[in-house]
Amino acid sequence: VGYGLCPVPCSPGCHRLSCVTWRPRGTWGERLSRRFLGGGPRLRTPEAALGAPDRFRLQTEAAGTVWLQLGVLPRNLGRFGVAC
């Protein structure tokens, strides 16, 4: 279980992306519990992962890489402020 951010391309076609993930480090007891029971500490507000000032105060550890294969069909992107 982890958090990650990656940009979604706005050009049409099939894209292969890698998203590096991380998770809150937690206390020694929480890490031991995660090792045997799964789960682990979560962010109280996932929006904290979006803002750099909040994210850089967290103690985190790497959680792996997720590979995504996306098919993008750009439609009405201008309406949402995305310029291609």
pLDDT of residue 15: 95
- pLDDT score for 44: 67
Q: How far apart are CA 22 and CA 2, in angstroms?
A: 5
- Residue 24, domain extent: 3-79
Model pLDDT for residues 11-63, shown as the tens digit of each residue:
888 999 999 988 887 777 776 776 777 667 767 666 666 666 666 677 788 88
> Which two structure tokens, joined as six digits, stand for 65?
């890489």
Report the number of distinct structural domains present in the chain. 1
76 or 14, greater pLDDT? 14
What pTM was computed for the model?
Answer: 0.64
Residue 18 lies in a domain: yes
Strand order in the sheet with 13-24: 3-4, 13-24, 60-72
In a domain, 84, yes or no: no
